[in-house]
Amino acid sequence: MITVALLSRPGLMDPMKAVLARELPGVTVASWPEPAAREADIAVCWKPEAGALASMPKLKLIHAIAAGVDNILSDPTVPDLPLCRIVDPDITSAMTEFVLWSTLYFHRDFDRVVSNSRDGVWQRYEQRAARDRKVGILGLGELGAAAASRLVELGFTVSAWSRSPKTIAGVRAYHGADALDAFLSETEILVSLLPLTASTIGLLNAERLSRLPKGAALVLCSRGEHLVADDLVALLRSGHLRGAVLDVFEQEPLPADHPLWREPGVLVTPHMAAIASWETIALQVAENARRLLRGEPLLNVVDRARGY
Ligand code: NAP
């Protein structure tokens, strides 16, 4: 039978153990760096220790516990084995909810009225129809495509940017680096749902963010490393940008004394946009383990060359 190793900070993945034991009779589940983990066939990872995967001689499959695999591929010694990620309808729905909420937060001026309500200020703002609000989604994959379609259903004017050409009903689709400025220049609420790769790290810097029209807002649901936070703060303080909902950060948890918590116009959320349950993750790992044993195609395999 097979051995599954869990590589993460101690105890994080313990809730998966019972599900894996139930789904894969006879499986050995060991936490890194227990000796049995070093002999594993499958490694299930969140931020594995650098070099750990390369030191596992029997390894056949690396499995992420998230939609993004940047936390694994950041280790240059990761062996060239199949790498799978989590794709789940509940994650997609949760992310769509978060994007809708963030869009409405700016579109319906909740950012302003929540602040006003604390100060006893009765102020109404001019209302705009959804069709007059331009929402732009960076990334049209599992999550970006679902959020874009739902925004279209609500009547927003939606555009999106991806690496390769895409067609989604009602969405103005841009692709490729050359089209990024044109996409940004017509986006009032920018939602990032890109994977973190060598091509997307630091993408949201002063140069790119200043292409957004004056008064635009940012919703960052992808990875903290996509954003140059100091550049965002400068554009907020200059009045070019209106606000930002930030769900992800270079350092997580964001330290309590980090200035972003108190930056006017910034709302910090604790990487909560879409969280898969341990049951869901373990069931997907178990399904891929069975496929591996039977020699069948694996689900949700990452393209290592693209990095996502
Ligand atoms: P996905 O299915 O792999 O889609 C990625 C999209 O980004 C694709 O449309 C891809 O273009 C596009 N893209 C990648 N590199 C690009 C580049 N250099 N230029 C332009 N477009 C590029 O990913 P997903 O499942 O939607 O997840 C997206 C990300 O969301 C994850 O990687 C993760 O970081 C983040 N996430 C965050 C949370 C949270 O709670 N905050 C939860 C889940 C996921 P093509 O279509 O042309 O390939």
Q: What is the pLDDT of residues 136-174, one digit of tens each?
A: 999 999 999 999 999 999 999 999 999 999 999 999 999
Q: Is 175 a catalytic residue?
A: no
- Give the model's pLDDT for residue 1: 83
- 34 and 127 fall within a common domain: no
Instruction: Point out the ligand 1 atom lying closest to the alpha carbon of residue 221.
Output: 41
Length of the chain: 308
CA-proximal residue: ligand 1, atom 1 (nearest):
141
Within 10 angstroms of residue 291's Cβ, the number of other Cβ atoms is: 15
Domain of 236, CATH number, reads 3.40.50.720
Please state, in angstroms and rounded to a whole number, the distance separating the CA atoms of residues 108 and 101.
10
Q: Is 31 left (phi over 0), alpha (psi -120 to 50) or beta?
A: beta
Does residue 30 share a domain with residue 150? Answer: no
Give yes or no for residue 92 having a pLDDT over 90: yes
* Total count of domains within the chain: 2
pLDDT in tens, 50-78: 999 999 999 999 999 999 999 999 999 99
160 exposed, middle or buried (CB, 10 Å; 0-12, 13-18, 19+)?
buried
Is 157 in the same domain as 116? yes
Give pLDDT tens digits for 233-290: 999 999 999 999 999 999 999 999 999 999 999 999 999 999 999 999 999 999 999 9
8 Å CB contact between 221 and 191: yes
142 touches ligand 1 (CB under 6 Å): yes
pLDDT at 24 over 90: yes
Does residue 102 sit in the same domain as residue 250? yes
One domain, residues 286 and 257: no
Query: What is the residue range of 57's domain?
Result: 3-88+276-294
Structural contact between residues 264 and 236, judged by C-beta atoms closer than 8 angstroms: yes
Distance CA 246, CA 40 (A): 37
169 & 287 share domain: no
